[in-house]
Amino acid sequence: AQSVSQHNHHVILSEAASLELGCNYSYGGTVNLFWYVQYPGQHLQLLLKYFSGDPLVKGIKGFEAEFIKSKFSFNLRKPSVQWSDTAEYFCAVTLNQAGTALIFGKGTTLSVSS
């Protein structure tokens, strides 16, 4: 069965620390990969996405992610986090096929202290 695993349930960092959130997927076929962020009390926002091409994807707010096909991974990174990055982060996968739903990981809570 298709699944998405996010290794870190809760990450606590100080401002300016580097961030890496793990995401692995189990999904047959060609996939599209996404990272979403949900700030407290707000709705989902797309951080970045990978459909094809350069496996290193740059998103908004200084985030990037690298698709490593051989490892079935799509880890999210940011060199220097800010207090405002405190949020819930979700990795999601879908087949590269119109009309297919996103499968979400369980999410990682990031807490950044100033």
Partner 1 sequence: GAVVSQHPSRVICKSGTSVKIECRSLDFQATTMFWYRQFPKQSLMLMATSNEGSKATYEQGVEKDKFLINHASLTLSTLTVTSAHPEDSSFYICSASGRVNEQYFGPGTRLTVT
Site residues (CB under 8 A) for partner 1?
A: 32, 36, 42-44, 49, 51, 90, 94-107, 109
Residue 90 C-beta: closest distance to partner 1, Å: 6
Q: How far is the CB of 102 from partner 1 (least distance, A)?
A: 6
Is 17 or 88 the residue whose CB approaches partner 1 more closely? Answer: 88
Minimum distance from residue 16 beta carbon to partner 1 (Å) = 27
What is the sign, positive or negative, of the torsion defined by CA atoms of 65, 20, 38, 70?
Answer: positive
CB 48 within 8 A of CB 57: yes
Query: What angle (nearest 5°) sits at the alpha carbon of residue 106, between those of residues 52 and 66?
Result: 30
Output the smallest distance, CB 28 to partner 1, in A. Answer: 16
Residue 54 or 70: the one with the smaller Cβ distance to partner 1 is 54
3-class DSSP state for residue 48? strand
Q: Which is nearer to partner 1, 17 or 44 (CB)?
A: 44
- Residue position matching structure tokens 């069965």: 1
Torsions phi, psi of 43, nearest 5? -95, 175
